[in-house]
Every structure is written in structure tokens, then in C-alpha cells.
Amino acid sequence: MVAHILRFTGVNCTAFLGGISKNYGTNLLLGNREISGEIIVVEADEFDRSFLTLHPDIAVITSLDADHLDIYGDHNSMVTSYRQFAGQVKPTGTLIYKSGLPLGDIPVKSMTYSIEGQADFMATNIRVENSNYVFDLTHNGKTIPQFILSWPGRHNVENALAASAACYLHGIPFEEIRSAMFAFSGVHRRFDYQVRNSEVVYIDDYAHHPEELKATILSAKELYPGRKILGIFQPHLYTRTRDFADGFGSSLSLLDELLLLDIYPARELPIEGVTSEMILNRVTIPAKGIVSKADLVAHVLKSDASIVLTLGAGDIDTLVNPLKSALETKFQITAAG
């Protein structure tokens, strides 16, 4: 979103993104190296501590939720690395972080953002209008109304607020940021609508951490109140399944119906006793089960849920098109929707 706002407002920037931008059809945006003042935007990766090679002018930290414990060992070690990254902001730069994170004592200039309380940058009057999230932005006592975000989810309102703060500190007026945000189309596999009409909605999302799952599911519930939601989740990594089984169970219990796939191993070898059943046994809703990828579409078509979510970071994306086609056939949806 930062890269889009910069591009939209005419800033010369190169960006390395964590997903495929829908606006630009790529995860790499190249600026003009021959023009001075080029800005580099990086979605920093904490997975292998590679973000510690960076010394940014502006850094944004959105969360300190435990993850990648196979690398860090424990949450405290992960937080220590984040704090080190925060401390690497240049002396003339600014750290922007979500209000409440334990980063206020880092000896760099810092500013906070929040959608729930007091902060340097605040999103207020958040509401849903015509399936868009709309909010007002307050900074230094001034409120700029009617920021419209077509990328759903309160977590994305948080992201939009953080991106707005970063771009404002770079010198872009809020009014221009607001226009850029309205034109932002989102990122592939991030609350990515595959089918959307009055009968059925199918959304694909990369969520693979308990907090990400919670955010995606709650966003769907807020956008489509009272409708039955079926979630298909493919756990990613044996270690993550082992470490966060309780969290996965809690988040997935927000669904009305759950279909679990087997764990996607990625770089890992199996761990004895760690299977998708660890999660299934912790899910409290009665409508739940484990299915194979081969049988998934048939199970989904039997469901009476009108909201369908595919969730995960493994190869679940290979099932998106078959599932989309099956739902379009079931509900007689044409290519035009």
C-alpha cells in the first residue's frame, strides 16, 4: 500500500513487495534510477532475521505476534530481534508502530498509530459502506474525513493508517493519500474475492497464523453478518502447527463450518504426533472435519454455507480455480458475475 500511494502520487520509487499487487500485476516495482531521490520500499522479512540487514529512514512495525519460533526459539527472542530492527532506524528517520507495542523506549524518533485509542495517527468513525471500509484520519488535532478502502478488513484499516502515516512523513498531503487509497485494489491472496454475488461469496486468503486467521474470519463476519461461513484451512509447517495449535483452534472456532487439509510441510520434515488433528481437536464448533485435496470440492458443494474462505500459505492456492469453477457452475454464475 505504501508503494502504491507513492506511485500514485508521482514519487519515484522501487518496491519489493511480499505479494502480487493487483494494481501493477507484480511484486517488483522499478523506479527510474537515473532520477535522484529514488525511494526504496521493502516488505522486510523477519523469518531468518534478514530484516536486521536494513537501516531504514522510515520503518513501520505492525505486530509482534509470535511466529517463526523454529528460527527464534521463543517469543522473547523474536521481540528482541524486532527491537534491534527498530533501533536501526537512521538518526534522522522515524519509527512508526502500532500503539501498545513495547517499542516506546527504543532510542529513535517514533510515532504511533491506532484504530482503537489515542495515538499520533488515529482512524476514527470506522464503518462499512457498500462493502468498503470507510474511516476518518486524525493527526495533530486535525481530522481528514472519508478515507475509502475497498480492501476489506479492520486489520487492513490498520494497515492503511500505518501506510498513510509513513507516506505523510515522506511529505505527501493526506488529501493525496486519500485519493491514492481509493484507487488501491489490494494484493493477490489477501482477502481476494474469487466469486461474489448475492448467493455465494468465495474469498481466498494467505492467512496462516492464528491472528491472521482471526482477522480474516472476523472481517468476513462483519461484512456478511448472519451468513454461514465455511472455512478451508491448510496448516503451514509442522513446527507452526505444534507451537500454535491452541491459537489455531480458537481462531478457527469463529467459523460456522471447517474443513481442514493435511499440513503443508514446506521446508520441514514431519514431527511425530503433529498432524492436522491437533488443530481439529481444539476447534469447538461441531461442523468440522479433515478432508483430502482430492475430495475438497465435493465437500464444499455439499455445504449450505454462502460464504466460503480458503486459508493458508501452502499449495492451497492450486485449489482456488477448481473451487471457483465448481461454485460458479453450482450457482450458474457467468464470467460477468
For the stretch 213-254, pLDDT in tens is 999 999 999 999 999 999 999 999 999 999 999 999 999 999
Q: Kindly report the backbone phi and psi dihedral angles of residue 144, in degrees, each rounded to the nearest multiple of 5, phi listed first.
A: -105, 115
The per-residue pLDDT for 336 is: 45
List beta partners, residue 124. 136
As a whole-number percent, the residues of the chain with pLDDT over 70 amount to 99
pLDDT digits (tens, 9 = 90+) for 269-284: 999 999 999 999 999 9
The strand ranges marked E within 94-214 are 94-98, 110-114, 121-129, 132-139, 142-149, 192-196, 201-205
Which residue type, as a one-letter code, is found at position 189? R
Residue 325 above 60 pLDDT?
yes
CB 43 within 8 A of CB 16: yes
Burial string for 86-115 (b: 16+ CB within 10 Å, else e) reads: bebbeeebbbbbbbebebeebebebbbbbb
Which residue has cell 523477519? Answer: 46
Angle between helices 210-223 and 245-252 (to 10 degrees): 0
Give me the count of residues in the chain: 337
- Domain 192-330 belongs in CATH node 3.90.190.20: yes
pLDDT digits (tens, 9 = 90+) for 79-90: 999 999 999 999
Longest dimension (CA), the chain: 61
The per-residue pLDDT for 335 is: 54
Please measure the distance between the N-terminal and C-terminal CA atoms of the chain and give it in whole angstroms: 27
CB 312 within 8 A of CB 207: yes
H-helix segments, 119-185: 154-169, 174-182
pLDDT digits (tens, 9 = 90+) for 103-142: 999 999 999 999 998 999 999 999 999 889 999 999 999 9
Using CB atoms within 10 Å of the CB of residue 134, give its burial: 0 to 12 exposed, 13 to 18 middle, 19+ buried.
middle
* CA separation for the pair 77, 300 (Å, rounded): 41
* CA separation for the pair 151, 19 (Å, rounded): 14
Average the pLDDT over each of 25-29, 70-74, 205-209, 312-316 and give the range with the smallest value.
70-74
Residues contacting residue 152 through CB under 8 Å, at least 6 positions apart: 131, 132, 133, 191, 219, 220, 223
Angle between helices 293-302 and 320-330 (to 10 degrees): 30
Which residue has cell 478457527? Answer: 252
Inter-CA distances, 143 with 111, 136, 146, 180, 228, Å: 17, 7, 10, 18, 37
Residue 337 above 80 pLDDT?
no
Q: Kindly report the backbone phi and psi dihedral angles of residue 321, in degrees, each rounded to the nearest multiple of 5, phi listed first.
A: -65, -45
Average the pLDDT over each of 45-49, 119-123, 159-163 and give the range with the smallest value.
45-49
Q: Pairing between strand 132-139 and 121-129?
A: antiparallel
- Sign of the C-alpha dihedral computed for residues 75, 54, 62 and 218 taken in this order: negative
- Provide the CB-side half-sphere exposure for 227 (13 A, CA): 22
Position 35 confidence tier, pLDDT thresholds 50, 70, 90: confident
* CA separation for the pair 188, 205 (Å, rounded): 8
Q: Where are the domains of the chain?
A: 192-330
Burial string for 149-161 (b: 16+ CB within 10 Å, else e) reads: bebbbbbbbbbbb
Cβ neighbours, 10 Å, residue 131: 12
The per-residue pLDDT for 285 is: 99
